Every structure is written in C-alpha cells, then in structure tokens.
Amino acid sequence: MRRKEDADKGVGKLNASTMKFLAINDRIEIVVAGKKKMELNALSMPDIPENEVWINADEMKALGLSDNSIATVRRVFK
C-alpha cells in the first residue's frame, strides 16, 4: 500500500490487470496484520504498478499504517 496525498478518500487505486486477476468489480477489502481492515471503492488506473494499491494518506494515517505497508487485498464478498 502506498500513501498518496492526491488520492480521494474511500478509494483504492489499482492496476487494471491486478483488478482482473483478483476479479475485483467495484470494492476491495484491505487487511493488515490480520487486525486492521478497511473497505474501499476500487478504481482502475493503468499507470499504477501491479503490486501496489494507492490510498489516501490521511486514511492510512488514521489506521496507523505507514507508506509501503504490506497487506492482503481481496474483493469484497457480498
């Protein structure tokens, strides 16, 4: 996960091929260390590296997550 000041709150930006691989349509769930969880709207962006999710810096700070944190990313099951 990467902190990005210009990212909108409530949105996780991912590479389009990553979204396709994980079968993500509209929402993602991010889990860090099995404890800290967040749900975000997924936005496909072609210029983002395949192994990164860009998230609003203020949201990450509120959860106590640093830039370049390692997390599990999955689609939200309804």
Q: What does the pLDDT look like over 35-48, one tens digit per residue?
A: 888 899 999 999 99
Per-residue pLDDT at 36: 84
Encoding tokens for residue 47?
Answer: 């210029």
Structural domains of the chain ordered from first start? 2-75 (2.40.40.20)
| Residue 16, H or E segment | helix 16-21
Per-residue pLDDT at 2: 93
Global pTM value: 0.87
Per-residue pLDDT at 56: 94
Is the Cβ–Cβ distance between 24 and 42 less than 8 Å?
A: yes
Model confidence band, residue 14 (pLDDT cutoffs 50, 70, 90): very high
